[in-house]
Amino acid sequence: MNIETTIEGMPIPAHVDPRLVVDYDVYGDRRFFETGDLHEGLYKLGEEVGRGIFWTPHNGGHWVINSHALMFDAVRNYEVFSSNNKAARHGAMVMIPSMGGDEPIFAPQSLDPPEHGTFRKPLMKAFAPAVVARMEAGIRELARDMIAAIAPLGKAEFLSMVAEPLPVTVFMKMMGMPLERIHEFRDWMSNMASDDPANRAFAFGNIDKAMGELIRERQAKPQDDLISRLLAEDVGGRTPTYDEMQAYCLLLFTAGLDTLVNAFTFGTYQIAKMPELQERIRADRSLINPLIEEILRRFAIAMPPRRVAKDAEFGGATLKQGDLVMLALPAANLDPTAFDDPLTFNIDREEQTHMTFNSGPHRCVGSHLARLEMRVFFEEWFERMPNVYPDPAEPPTYRPGLNLTICKLPLIWEPVA
């Protein structure tokens, strides 16, 4: 590498304009600690350094896109912003920091068009609105049971009692995964979110083994579940190989076991801070859909990485083939050029173009399921729960990283008889 300058001893490549270098560590940015809030930390970053594209030398060095307009261009331009880490091996996922060539394959997330489309199609079918709509009654029953279990208590740690078991149970049932292993699986998810490649390798190894066993079982004896259906799907005129099934399962594991959990915790924490909003929604349930869209906008979760596939000029930056790029989707949703007063939680806002599910070829396949689960949950919540409040004795705890996470959310309320 041709070194020109450094921040705290960290190298900056010569092609990076020094004016675009920012001291930003996605796994522990100082602005998060200053504001005490992951999303406010990202907003503060935009206020301090501007919105566009910048380079950080942390975590091996990578670009960060934090403007709504640039994000919209970048996510469509897969010829420059590739999801595929060819430097590791064909199809491998881009990771920040790099796993030194041990990156796993996530189908279809770590593939580029046109190959990406071949593997995305079966998932589009499996997660189509009409298919997920059939899951509504089962989701409602689960939500009711979980809410009924906590309502008389007057206090609960919301993550472990509701936000985790509800979407994870729905997903594991859909996949045909053994429900008794839920805690083990969630523990692997925490390791996957680590900035230490060794922790991630540990998680991927375990997930590979567990999902591999399930794939073999379903190959031998198909059941009424998603793994069995994917085994019979058409991927370019044939069925998926064992390795391709592993790549599907790895992605589905990460998509199904984490993102929606965070949407529930961020959203419920926000409404817990707004008692008048809770009363307004209880009186008018038609506000649940705008509530969900504002939760999704204000609290986007994922910051997916990309790898520069060819040299390019983009947003005033000179990109070199092989550079890593982080798409700070939550920051794009907090860009004042796209959303007025973006930090304010306002269910009456009209702008709808949030980037929470991304946009372009990799737009989230699970968005219909995510919205359905959120709607059913909040319908049941407002039906059965009085106003809830953050527990003043125990503030929530967070985990920064490529997926913004609340780790603990104690809530209190008047016990329901």
User: Residues interacting with ligand HEM, by CB under 6 A?
Assistant: 83, 108-109, 120, 123, 171, 251-252, 255-256, 259-260, 263, 301-302, 304, 329, 356-358, 362, 364-366, 369-370
Q: Which residue is nearest to ligand HEM (CB)?
A: 366
How many degrees, rounded to 5, is the angle at CA 107 between CA 106 and CA 110?
Answer: 60
Identify the residue whose tokens are 């125990």. Answer: 394
Token duo for residue 90: 């064909």
Identify the residue whose tokens are 């949030």. Answer: 354
Q: Find the shortest distance in angstroms from Cβ 302 to ligand HEM.
A: 4
Residue 204 or residue 413: which is nearer to ligand HEM going by CB? Answer: 204
Give the C-alpha separation, 42 to 21, whole Å: 16
User: Longest C-alpha distance within the chain, in Å?
Assistant: 68
Residue 247 or residue 272: which is nearer to ligand HEM going by CB? Answer: 247
Find how far residue 205's CA is from the centre of its chain.
21
Give the C-alpha separation, 23 to 29, whole Å: 8
At CB < 8 A and 24+ separation, what contacts does 143-150 make? 143/376, 143/377, 143/380, 143/381, 144/380, 144/384, 147/380, 147/381, 147/384, 147/385, 148/384
Q: Find the shortest distance in angstroms from Cβ 248 to ligand HEM.
A: 8
Beta strands 305-308; 324-327: pairing state: antiparallel
Residue 21 or residue 296: which is nearer to ligand HEM going by CB? Answer: 296
Q: Find the shortest distance in angstroms from Cβ 5 to ligand HEM.
A: 31
Q: Find the shortest distance in angstroms from Cβ 76 to ligand HEM.
A: 11
Residue 130 or residue 220: which is nearer to ligand HEM going by CB? Answer: 130
> Phi then psi for 186, rounded to 5 degrees?
-65, -30
Residue 16 or residue 93: which is nearer to ligand HEM going by CB? Answer: 93
- Total count of residues recorded for the chain: 417
Residue 32 or residue 266: which is nearer to ligand HEM going by CB? Answer: 266
Residue 16 or residue 252: which is nearer to ligand HEM going by CB? Answer: 252
Residue 24 or residue 357: which is nearer to ligand HEM going by CB? Answer: 357
Residue 156 or residue 365: which is nearer to ligand HEM going by CB? Answer: 365
Q: Find the shortest distance in angstroms from Cβ 207 to ligand HEM.
A: 15
How far is CA 239 from each of CA 206, 244, 245, 297, 332, rounded to the nearest angstrom?
Answer: 25, 9, 10, 37, 38
Q: Find the shortest distance in angstroms from Cβ 70 to ligand HEM.
A: 15
Contact at 8 Å (CB) between 191 and 199?
A: yes
How many degrees, rounded to 5, is the angle at CA 141 between CA 277 and CA 122?
Answer: 95
Report which DSSP code applies to 394.
S
Give the C-alpha separation, 91 to 103, whole Å: 9
Q: Find the shortest distance in angstroms from Cβ 417 to ligand HEM.
A: 33
Q: Find the shortest distance in angstroms from Cβ 377 to ligand HEM.
A: 12
- What kind and span of H or E run contains 317? strand 317-319
Residue 131 or residue 312: which is nearer to ligand HEM going by CB? Answer: 131
Residue 43 or residue 357: which is nearer to ligand HEM going by CB? Answer: 357
Find how far residue 305's CA is from the centre of its chain.
12
Beta strands 305-308; 81-82: pairing state: antiparallel
Q: Comparing C-alpha atoms, which of 26, 16, 11, 3 is closest to residue 55?
A: 16
Q: Find the shortest distance in angstroms from Cβ 35 to ligand HEM.
A: 21
Q: Find the shortest distance in angstroms from Cβ 289 to ligand HEM.
A: 15
Q: Find the shortest distance in angstroms from Cβ 371 to ligand HEM.
A: 8
